[in-house]
Amino acid sequence: MSHDTIETNQRTAAFADHDELWLFGYGSLIYKAGFDYSERRLATIEGWARRFWQGSHDHRGTPVAPGRVVTLVEAPGETCFGMAYRITPAHFEYLDHREKNGYLRFAQPMTLDNGQVEKGLVYIATPSNAAWLGEAPIDAIARQIVDTAGPSGPNRDYALDLADALREHGARDAHVFAVAERVRALIAAD
């Protein structure tokens, strides 16, 4: 699969017939939406875990030196915290471009902070995409994050902002916190 998934996502008919829908964000969407929305709520999804296993050739890195950003991987029994946004299908153009580096649209049930369960949209980069970097030791992930930057800024800002946003909302994420701790240590040592 190509790095650029815009056309693939544009062919996806899921939610096209909806006036409104919920979008689940689990990375930078937690702290930086970048679009207008009618409602925003804390939310969780079951059976998924956030991991720094996706390459970023377009936002937090370059084609020569990709950064690392989060995606979701299946993890039975786990709960992933995120932010849900009520949007319209008109947002797809912006979101498809923002998530173009390997992310595909999926329908996923999510639980809003009021206990309401909604089927919503989530962008997930799977191992079959060309930007997939996969699992690596925390030290290697952190070093790559510290050493890369792209048009959206240093990769380290993404990792640290995500960890800070999760903490601000009282969410736990051992993987993100371990990566952020190591990133901070590497920055201090450099």
- Distance of alpha carbon 81 from alpha carbon 39, whole angstroms: 17
Instruction: Give the pLDDT of residue 103.
Output: 86
**Tens digits of residue pLDDT in 45-76:** 999 999 999 999 888 999 999 999 999 999 99
* Tokens 């999926």 sit on residue: 106
Show the domains of the chain with their CATH numbers. Answer: 6-135 (3.10.490.10)
What is the model's pTM? 0.90
Task: State the pairing for strand pair 149-150/117-125.
Answer: unpaired
Cβ proximity of 73 and 53 under 8 Å: yes
Instruction: Give the pLDDT of residue 64.
Output: 93
Instruction: Give the pLDDT of residue 140.
Output: 98
The closest alpha carbon to 58, from 32, 96, 92, 23, belongs to 96
Instruction: Give the pLDDT of residue 16.
Output: 66
Name residue 80's amino acid. Answer: C
Name residue 122's amino acid. Answer: V
Instruction: Give the pLDDT of residue 7.
Output: 62
Residues annotated as catalytic are: 99
Residues of the chain with pLDDT under 50: 1-2, 6, 9
Instruction: Give the pLDDT of residue 95.
Output: 85
Sequence-distant (≥ 6) Cβ neighbours of residue 174 within 8 angstroms = none
Q: Which two tokens stand for residue 95?
A: 């979101």
Instruction: Give the pLDDT of residue 1.
Output: 40
